[in-house]
Amino acid sequence: MLSVTDLGSLDYLAALEFQENVVAAKQRELLPDVVVFVQHPHVFTIGRGGKLENVIAPKDVPVHRVGRGGDVTYHGPGQLIVYPIIDLRSKLRRDVHRYVRNLEASAIRTLKEFGLEAMHRPPYTGIWIEDKKIAAIGVAVRRCITLHGLALNVNTDLSYFERIIPCGLSWAKVTCMAKELGARQDIELVKERFLRNFAEVFGYSAVEKIENGGWKMEDGDSRSSIFNPRPEAN
């Protein structure tokens, strides 16, 4: 069983707290595998080994160092951000590299359905169309449970990438689906197709969508999620 929830637009740190709460519940075997969809307000994040000098001119955009792999990247409106929180012991026998390849394959299949030929580009992670990166991947694993994940540029304002050296690769360009296809894309349709491909690649036979409660935030406040419910009024 794969459960899916959509947090809508949510501050990066609130979404990170949400992930950490789900991971903690997964480690106690209280939840099935979960995929979290979200969009963030403008933010730059730097992975564990990332270099601060790759953030050139953040201006008014917040910068956070986080516990995922990879260097610096941008998140913002128009991106499809996917945070799979799954148990590698049950799905991939603790093989993190295979997990990343499957995550890439899910995005590549999705892009192909929209007429875009994307590919891996070893030794670099992420998804590429020639020398243009269209999706970034940065993951972490805690006691065999995954967090962080993938950011696919759908209708992304690419000018924000000019404020950083994306993924620390000075030669790399960045693109999005809207630019490659010449028109804005329906991000809900992209999400639907990505979910189907993810379930097929990872071998889930059933998908349960959690809406209007469950793991979804209330008022965008992680403290009022199912893991930390609000105190009842007296």
Catalytic residue among 82, 165, 167, 195: 167
Q: Is 144 a catalytic residue?
A: no
Percent composition of the chain: helix, strand, coil (DSSP 3-state, to 5): 30, 30, 35
Chain centroid to CA 150: how far? 3
Specify the 3-state DSSP secondary structure of 97. helix
Radius of gyration of the chain (CA): 17
Phi, psi of 102 (to 5 degrees): -70, -35
Asked if 161 contacts 115 with a C-beta cutoff of 8 angstroms, the reply is no
CA atoms within 13 A on the CB side of 85: 27
Q: Is the dihedral of CA 221, 222, 225, 230 positive or negative?
A: negative
Tokens of residue 225, six digits: 């999620």
Asked if 195 contacts 187 with a C-beta cutoff of 8 angstroms, the reply is no
Active site residues: 167
